[in-house]
Each structure stands twice: as structure tokens, then as C-alpha cells.
Amino acid sequence: MVEYNTENLDATFAALADPTRRAILEKLAEGEQSVSELAMPFDMSLAAVSKHIQLLTRANLVSQHKKGRVRQCRLEPEAFEAAVNWIEHYRDFWAEKFTALEAFLENEVKKSDMKPKQGKRKK
Amino acid sequence: MVEYNTENLDATFAALADPTRRAILEKLAEGEQSVSELAMPFDMSLAAVSKHIQLLTRANLVSQHKKGRVRQCRLEPEAFEAAVNWIEHYRDFWAEKFTALEAFLENEVKKSDMKPKQGKRKK
DNA sequence: AGATCATTCAACCATATGGTTGACAATTAG
DNA sequence: CTAATTGTCAACCATATGGTTGAATGATCT
């Protein structure tokens, strides 16, 4: 129905599905940070954090630019928009349905063994 | 800072990171569906769809109840709330920062080779 | 140039995803 | 009881994640 930029939704949601990466994003909300700065709070190798950042970069959530020998990372929030728009749309859409749906189901449960066959309602 | 129910965020985002599963959720927005009904539009085995539904169930996005020999699936939208709240919170938080941040960066880029060292602003 | 710092790359390992097929379980129909 | 329908389970395969360590690259300092 509504056509969202569904393109990078896979990568975006996958990127958000890891607590380390979400923490990195939270840190980046305070401003640019180098890879080392981002890595500090975590009990893992720099290489591991570097890979997380690469994944975030592939998902267009973060970008890097070199400043001397330091890679500064910064947020690129456009992909977030696509993700939140997708969820919000369906959340609202579902919310509309739920009042009716729940009433219907409550009814169904009560008479579930009296009426073995039920027509499929379609919109 | 703000304490969200970060518990199942991993599972929720991971569940949303697959186009088949997002399509299943969209279909379920129209009402309950059996596993077979959900599987129909997809060019994959029933077992594959069944596994997607199991993953959605583990993420608390979907629940099942048996009705005869048919498993009816329905949406359980609470997990969506946690996900959308997480993104929305940081989206708003970041939005605040970006005006200032972008102005700052634009400035930085222009004078980047005149001023090799820069103090780290910390909130 | 040589040493050092910041970061990535490469190889490796364990586990999870996303799919397949075939057997099995549960339920209903004849 | 037997057969068909609905769905899951088990085993398998290929690829991706999430982590490690050690070597390699790039930039800066002396």
C-alpha cells in the first residue's frame, strides 16, 4: 500500500539488533567520536568494535572521515527515519484494528467449540 | 539515561530485519491467519515460514493458538512499542543535536588544515 | 629513517539464519 | 481403522555474526 523506502530496512534493523551497536549509536549522539573512543567502554578488541562500525556504515547509520590518523565517526540518521516510519506506520495501522479485533476474539473464544467453522473476514 | 525495556530489543530488531517476516506482520495486520495462509504468497517451503513464525513468536511479536488442527497466528504488538520507542527517543535526541553539530562540522571542514588540534567538546 | 599510534585486514572459530527435504505428530474426514 | 491435512521436528547445507589474535597499513613524532 504505502511505499516506503524498504531498500535498506534489512540492514538497518539488523544493525539495531545488537546492544553494542545501539550503545555506539547512543555515544555518537553526543557528537563525533573516534573508533578508539567508541571502543573504550566495551570489553572487546578494537577490531571487534571496528567491525561493528563497518556494519553500521554499510547500513548508512554512521559515516567516517579521516582526520589525521584518526577515523572520526558520526551519525547519519536518514536510515533511522526509514526504520521508524516503517514501524510507526504499521503500529498505527494495527492499533486501529486491535479494538475491533480483540472484541472479535473475545467473542470467538467463548463460542469456540459451538461453531467449528468460521468465515474469513477480509478487510 | 532513560531506561527503556531494552530486554527484547535484540530479538525485536532481529525479527524485523527480514523482509519475509515484515511481510508476515503486514499480513497479520489484516487479522488472524493460519500458518498455511501466511505461507501462500511466499516461494518457500512451509517449514521455512514456520521457522520465521517461531522467530517472531520468540520476539513476542506474534502468538499462536490452536484451533483444531490449524495454528492461528495473531499479532502481539507490545514489542513493537519498545522498538519504536527506542528509535524515536534517539531520533528526537539526535535531531536536537544535529543543527548545532552540522554547523560545527561545516565550520571544521573549512578550517580543517589550519587548526590541526581541536578540543573535544563534551556536552 | 625508525618508532609509535590508530585502525583495518586476514584467518580462524563458534553460533545463528535462512533455506531445503523427509519423517513425524495431531487432528479431522471417510 | 485408514487416509488426508496442518504443521513441526531433525538433519543438513551455505552464509552471516560476533568474537579472537597477529600482521599490515597510514599518519605522526622524534
Measured CA to CA in angstroms, residue B75 lies from A13, A14, B1, B22 at distances of: 19, 21, 30, 12
Tell me if A110 sits within 8 A of B45, measured CB to CB: no
pTM above 0.85, yes or no: no
Asked if residue B58 has pLDDT above 90, the reply is yes
Asked if residue B83 has pLDDT above 60, the reply is yes
How many CB atoms lie under 10 A from the CB of residue A60? 18
Average pLDDT of span B29-39: 93
Please report which confidence band the pLDDT of residue B94 belongs to, taking 50, 70 and 90 as the band edges.
confident
CA atoms within 13 A on the CB side of A121: 11
Asked if residue A2 has pLDDT above 80, the reply is no
Question: Is B81 in Cβ contact with A84 (below 8 Å)?
Answer: no
Set of chain A residues whose Cβ sits within 8 Å of the Cβ of B8: none
- Cα separation, B116 vs A10, in Å, equals 39
Please report the DSSP string for A38-62 in residue order. Answer: HHTTSSS-HHHHHHHHHHHHHTTSE
User: Residue B87 is nearest to which of A67, A83, A120, comparing CB atoms?
Assistant: A83
Asked if residue A33 has pLDDT above 60, the reply is yes
pLDDT of residue A111: 43
Q: What is the mean pLDDT of chain B?
A: 80
